Amino acid sequence: MPVRALLFVMLCGLACVARAAEIRFDPDRMAVVNGERTFVLGLYETFEDIVDYRTVSDAGFNLVRSPGTQAELDHLALLGLNVWIQTGDSIDLSEDRSNRVAQLRRLVEQFGQHPTLLTWEVPDEALWHAWYAPVQWRVHDEPNQLRVLTSGENSKRSSVDMRERLERLDALYEAGKYSDGEIEADAIWKAFGKEQPHPDLSIGNGAARAEKLQRGLIEGYHFLKTLDAHHPVWMNHAPRNQIASLAAINEGADIVGCDIYPAPSFGHDHSDIADQTLSAVGAYTRRMQAASPEKPVWMVLQAFGWKDLLKEDDGINEVRHRRPSVYELRFMAYDAIVHGARGVLYWGTTHIEKPSKLWSDLLVTVRELADLQPVLSAHDAVIRPRVAVGGAWGSVDRTVELLAKDIDGRVTLIIVNEWNERLDYRVSGLDSHEGQTFTDGSQDVKITVANGEFASSIAGYGVHVLQPVGMK
């Protein structure tokens, strides 16, 4: 059927099937969408062609970022795709309050009753940017602008003295003497008869900016709830910030999480925690949950290579900036799941070509997760199996992690190896499953519980999804 005809049929049918999406969260933080427990599988990219959205839907995604118009949302409704809609700065009521209140009202009036809407989202990485914006300006952008200003081609005032002052500015910042550096930078602007373009951006006022943002977002959250009490608010963080700061600002959200893009290991500086390997996904999942123990965590995972974000003249290292493999995609998803994520979303596909191996690998990975929807959305099992690993030559400061999920008394064991080498492991505490055989056909693993335990081995960054034999 031609695309135009398909759209006509879909739109004609929409009036018959459309109804507002209903979402709530069970006590274990799993989303319940239209009455069904749902593990969220999301995609950031928006498309112009409905055929692309059908590909996304067929792969098993169930949540996408809003493409923006009523007609486009109508198309997505008939593909079974829900959307999230970004509020932009309108939800931050710390300034320009009357205009932003009006913007929120218009947003809810336009989209609040649409059947695809599942959740609102506040500005991306808002807390981090409250701190990062002045750093980006003062340490990076401002010195570059000052160099242009003081260059011989652009100013007769250029001199050895000015070059020395710029070198002194760099030295102050490198020494962490930010206040002194800002004073020096302001003085250089004045020497050229100019005012510093961004007087509000001072590294020293980062905490004050964050506190102002926190108050504004929390106030905006509560106001939005008076307009729309039925849809939750999601806050995505950068892989930064202290847990106490995250906890404070998370009062302005119902769902929390962060983006973390660690592939390849040690190939970037996206994260600032000690773990710079793929298992940083699990580490950040734990941090997000620690900041808001009662709220669901949705993690944003990597669907691009760092080289895809760089310009050709940036000196791309093909190894350090390569795209993640399907093996790495699979590990990162399950690492988030094992550590309590109730959803995973993917960012970066806008920067990769289609078709491509990474796009195909992502669709395969999400299809696997979608096929496991009954398991992923199930309650965590009451049993708490214990995992021990065998001897190895390495330090093994990351180890084998396990999550047990329960479907009507039938337990599935999801196991990930956060270490980069193969490990032998033993799972005990399975006395209630004595004699039960588990298998992971994709990994050619089959084990039987004897004396309440079993032993196996797992490759570095490997995943075992062990289901009872006969379970579909």
* Three-state SS letters, 124-143: CCHHHHHHHHHHHHHHHHHH
Looking at residue 381, its pLDDT comes to 97
In whole angstroms, give the CA distance from residue 59 to residue 366: 6
Looking at residue 205, its pLDDT comes to 87
Q: Are strands 40-43 and 343-347 parallel, antiparallel or unpaired?
A: parallel
In whole angstroms, give the CA distance from residue 293 to residue 209: 25
Do 233 and 224 form a contact (C-beta atoms < 8 A)?
yes
Q: What are the φ/ψ torsions at residue 256 (nearest 5 degrees)?
A: -130, 165
Instruction: Give every CB contact of residue 247 below 8 A, 6+ residues apart in sequence.
Output: 291, 292
List the structure tokens of 240: 């930064």
In degrees, rounded to 5, the angle at the alpha carbon of residue 225 between the alpha carbons of residues 110 and 61 is 65
In whole angstroms, give the CA distance from residue 65 to residue 52: 14
Looking at residue 364, its pLDDT comes to 98
Buried b (16+ CB within 10 A) or exposed e, 378-392: beebeeebebebeee
Q: What residues does 125 pair with on adjacent strands?
A: none
Do 249 and 221 form a contact (C-beta atoms < 8 A)?
no
| pLDDT tens for the 472 residues of the chain, in order | 344 444 434 444 444 344 568 999 999 999 999 999 999 999 999 999 999 999 999 999 999 999 989 999 999 999 999 999 999 999 999 999 999 999 999 999 999 999 999 999 999 999 999 998 898 999 989 999 988 887 754 555 556 678 888 889 999 999 999 999 999 999 999 988 899 999 888 988 888 999 999 999 999 999 999 999 999 999 999 999 999 999 999 999 999 999 999 999 987 788 899 999 999 999 999 999 999 999 999 999 999 999 999 876 666 788 888 999 999 999 999 999 999 999 999 999 999 999 999 999 999 999 999 999 999 999 999 999 999 999 999 999 999 999 999 999 999 999 999 999 999 999 999 999 999 999 998 889 999 999 999 999 999 999 999 999 976 5
Closest C-alpha among 285, 325, 301 to residue 41 = 301
Closest C-alpha among 182, 178, 104, 97 to residue 142 = 182
The pTM of the whole model exceeds 0.85: yes
Looking at residue 10, its pLDDT comes to 46
In whole angstroms, give the CA distance from residue 135 to residue 202: 8
Looking at residue 295, its pLDDT comes to 98
**Distances in whole angstroms, Cα of residue 321 to Cα of each of 254, 265, 307, 311, 355:** 34, 10, 5, 12, 20
Rama region for 239: left / alpha / beta (φ>0; ψ in -120 to 50; rest): beta
Looking at residue 150, its pLDDT comes to 77
List the structure tokens of 54: 């059908």
Task: Give the number of other Cβ atoms within 10 Å of residue 349's Cβ.
Answer: 20
- Which domains, ranges and CATH numbers included, belong to the chain? 3-126+211-376 (3.20.20.80), 128-206 (no CATH), 379-468 (2.60.40.1180)
User: Which of helix, strand or coil describes residue 279?
Assistant: coil
Q: What radius of gyration, in Å, describes the C-alpha atoms of the chain? A: 25
Query: What's the farthest any 2 CA atoms get from each other in the chain?
Result: 86
Q: Are strands 400-407 and 386-389 parallel, antiparallel or unpaired?
A: unpaired
Please give the full DSSP string across 144-206, using - where no structure is assigned: HHHHHHHSTTT-TT--HHHHHHHHHHHHHHHTT-HHHHHHHHHHHHHHTT---S-TT--GGGH
Q: Are strands 82-86 and 63-65 parallel, antiparallel or unpaired?
A: parallel
Buried b (16+ CB within 10 A) or exposed e, 178-205: beebbebbeebbeeeeeebeeeebbbee
Do 372 and 465 form a contact (C-beta atoms < 8 A)?
yes
User: Which of helix, strand or coil describes residue 336?
Assistant: helix
Instruction: Give every CB contact of residue 397 below 8 A, 6+ residues apart in sequence.
Output: none
**Given the structure tokens 């018959």, which residue do they identify?**
16
